[in-house]
Amino acid sequence: MTMIRDIIDKIKHHGHSQEEQEQRAMAEKVAEEKAAIAAATAAAEKKRQKEASRGPEMHPDLLELYTITDHVLGVGTFATVKEIKLKSTGKSYALKIILKKTLVGKTAMLDTEISVLSKVRHPNCVSLLELFETKDAVYLVTDLAEGGELFDQLLQKGSYTEGDAARLVHEILLGVEYLHKMDIVHRDLKPENLLFMDKSENARLMITDFGLSKVLTSGNDVLMTACGTPGYVAPEVLEQIGHGKPVDIWSIGVIAYTLLCGYTPFWGEDQPSLFESIISGEYEYEEEYWKDVSPLAKSFIDSLLVRPAEKRPTATQALNHPWFRTMLEADMVTPTSPIEDSVNLLPGMRKNFNARSAFKKAVRAVGLLRKMQAASSGSSGSSFGSGEDLRSQNEVVVGGKKVGGRPTSMGLSFHDVVSAALINKKGLDLGSEVEETDDENLDQVNAVLKDLTIKDV
């Protein structure tokens, strides 16, 4: 009897063991299939990301002529700019890759830029060399200005005199004179759109970014579209009374002022007050920062920052101002030989450029936090503008209302908001009544923010 039971138990256990083995095998098979699916999905996603990072499929002729490097020179809303090298010579150029899907409703900007760049051939202007187009993108091959932005490079120099500033302004005017003779109005001249050809000591300065430019059908066309960069924009643009070539002359006046002291002549704690300052046309030369600058330089600036626009000189007339004859050698390219009383403007300029930039952002950030606090408590407030580059692609907000495009952000980065928090924590009062020209205020802000190294991403 016992033997029979043992046999029955063995039969039962054998069946269970076989069933368990089959279940384990099935589970392992399912797990293997899931792992294979996950691996395939991951590989497909990796391939998709790689293709996305590589961008759209390049034009075959472009790939045949040029080597596309991984060096990204810039990334914007509509385009990515990469360095490329001509295979036959090894010379570097800039490749602007513009995705067509980002240009919905904005194709006129691209048409304008291509139209202008294709016409321009001048040492002080970036030129279009070749154009390629695929179903997904447009590729513009242009001169490569490897020297970097105007102020970025100036602030790294060891010495910088009024003669150096005169040379730079002279080069800008030469480029603008050429553009105006071609009936092209740039409409967005500012330091960020002025690049050095290379990093040599006396590198040529080049005008770039013709996205807002306009080709006039006749020399005296009146333009009405409000565009440009607050701080450098002419008053007639803000008032929407019509504008033309003189807007570029005004912008050069602002740039010249800034090149000699490190800060712009017009400022407001928000966008409306900045615009009021520009429209008033009132500015001053603070003795502390302008005592070493010649009266001729101030006379030159005054001749450009005048209203109405008809009173401004043409680019050709501005080039004949005695400031250039005094500050530059006969070739009008080289600053006059240094003399004992030549003053290095760079220390004061660097201090003003860095400190005032930090101060203005701090004031705006503190104001932003206060408005956020007011909003959270249920109280209402007016719109808040940064007073910096508030261009929304190709428009600006004028007089508190949107002029085409969408309203821009307030121009405050995470870094700025953290700066405001630090300033509030330190108990500094940066209300609207505070004067940014007060050195004590500048020093206080610098002391608070000197160790702040948050990187905006």
Torsion of CA 203, 205, 211, 217, to 10 degrees: -140
Q: Which residues of 420-430 are buried (b: 16+ CB within 10 A; e: fewer)?
A: bebbbeeebeb
- Which residues, other chains included, contact 263 with Cβ-Cβ below 8 Å and sequence gap of 6+? 289, 352, 353, 356
Given the residues 188, 248, 270, 416, the one annotated as active site: 188
Q: How many CB atoms lie within 10 A of CB 49?
A: 10
User: What residue has token string 């600058």?
Assistant: 293
- 198 catalytic, yes or no? no
Q: For residue 84, what is the enclosing H or E element?
A: strand 79-86
Q: For tokens 């908001």, what's the residue? A: 417
Q: How far out from the chain centre does Cα 30 lie?
A: 54
The answer to whether the annotation marks 106 as part of a ligand binding site is: yes
Please report how the helices 346-376 and 414-425 are oriented relative to each other, as an axis angle in degrees rounded to 10. Answer: 80
With CA atoms as reference, report the closest residue to 324 among 298, 345, 296.
296
The CA–CA distances, whole Å, from 416 to 349, 371, 412, 425 equal 22, 15, 6, 14
Distance CA 285, CA 290 (A): 6
Paired tokens of 342: 């030549």
> How far apart (Å, rounded) are the C-alpha atoms in residues 70 and 75?
13
Say if CB 162 and CB 345 are below 8 A apart.
yes
For 141, half-sphere exposure in the C-beta direction (CA atoms, 13 angstrom radius) is 20
* Distance in angstroms (rounded) separating the CA atoms of residues 394 and 411: 16
CA pair distance 115, 216, nearest whole angstrom: 12
Known binding site for ATP: residues? 106
The binding site comprises 106
Supply the residues annotated as catalytic: 188
